[in-house]
Amino acid sequence: MQFVDEVTINVFSGEGGNGMVAWRREKYEPLGGPAGGTGGRGGHVYMESSSDLSTLLDFHYKIEFKASPGEKGGPKNCTGKDGKDLIIKVPVGTIVTDLVNNKIIADLYEVDKRVLVAEGGRGGRGNSAFATHGNRAPYFCEPGESGIERRLQLTLKLLADVGLIGLPNAGKSTLLSVLTAARPKIANYPFSTLSPNLGVMRGADGDGVVIADIPGLIEGASQGIGLGHTFLRHVERTRVLVHLADITSENLKEDLKTICAELELYDPHVAQMPQIVFLNKADLILPEEAQEIAASVAAEIKQIFPFPDSVSKLMYGSCASTEGIQDLQNAVWELLAKTPKDENIFQVLDDEGAYQHPDEGFLVSRKKGTFFVSGERVEKLLGVTNLREPEALQHFFHVLRAMGIIDAMLSEGLEPGNEVVIGKTSFAYGDDMY
């Protein structure tokens, strides 16, 4: 299965339904009055974490998500039906970022955690909502509020208790297969693992912890060389690390330094995580030689590791022959018991953008004696205005003035008799528009 841990999507909440102009027409009610209902609310867009997903692969093929619009208001003061909310399911550990302001807006680190990312538009009011003592039969209504459009980046950071790190071909995949029921690809060449693999290690009491094999760490990984830049983010949320190195390497100490340096360059917090150093492939050399090499590394821990206190234990053995694996497993359980979960790695945020509907902006342009007005709000308002009804037209012009459109045209030289074009409708500016 292809592993995808970062995608960009577009979400659209539903726009509110328009209000309605309607009248009560019932027997024995000659003066029934206005009865136009309010439009329904547009559908919200939510992001929800699900344990059923492990990658963002589904979003590689579908990048646009739209909630349903609200229905328009009905007669007899009936409110239109609300649009259906859209719930987008993502893997646990997904971080949602708004690409417009580059702010993290949600951190879905718990199962079934739901966050609103785009609020649906409010429904427009019907004419019954505008009835007053001075105007008991209004001939106008309101358009629905626009929905919200957002461009979001989804980034997956795996949630694992233990992270396996080390240079390519150090034996991480083999160790994962020994400690858990996972069966990752294992081959005698570097970069056989191209995506993180997960497995569950069971204890004697049946409890389990998640172990992640983090691939592709080489020198320069923190700057994007190789695969490490892509997968280093998955180390951030582990509790402890198991640092594997090839005990037969001629540059063993430099190998250890390389991984430590990349972790520190990426994030000093990661470099200070509790870790167990396991020198692998000890079955390929004599026991005395393995013991001597391990002692040499232990003597130089302060020179090799930038945060030597983070190294809780240095061990050696073989993942292939399982020599020392039981001791390593016991050491991992002991270290986990002493290492509480770090709640500071999770983001607790208030997403203001989820409620920021498009403003009532407009654009006025002039071509000779004709003035052109464009803008979503004003065009929607025109769409719910009965141009044959003088009162509705008068209300429309009052709203234009309240929005500042009349003043904007006057500043551009608007005079009585000039043509004003809004959408596909034109008016002659005169007394009716004052």
- pLDDT tens readout for residues 305-323: 989 999 999 999 999 999 9
- Name the percent of the chain lying above pLDDT 90: 53
User: What is the DSSP secondary-structure string of 214-235?
Assistant: -----TTGGGT-TTHHHHGGGG
Q: What is the pLDDT confidence band of residue 241, given thresholds at 50, 70 and 90?
A: very high
The pLDDT, as a whole number, for residue 262 is 83
List the alpha helices (DSSP H) in 248-316: 252-266, 268-271, 287-299, 301-304
Query: Cα dihedral sign for 421, 423, 425, 429?
Result: negative
* Residue 172 identity (one-letter amino acid): K
Q: What is the pLDDT of residues 79-102, one digit of tens each?
A: 999 999 999 999 988 999 999 999
What is the H or E stretch that residue 156 is in? strand 149-156
Q: Cβ(234)–Cβ(160) under 8 Å?
A: yes
213/361 Cα distance (integer angstroms): 51
Domains belonging to the chain, first-starting first, are 6-156 (2.70.210.12), 162-344 (3.40.50.300), 363-433 (3.30.300.350)
Choice between 342 and 169, residue whose per-residue pLDDT is larger: 169
Average pLDDT over residues 54-74: 92
Neighbours of 197 (CB within 10 A): 22
Average pLDDT over residues 416-424: 90
32/11 Cα distance (integer angstroms): 43
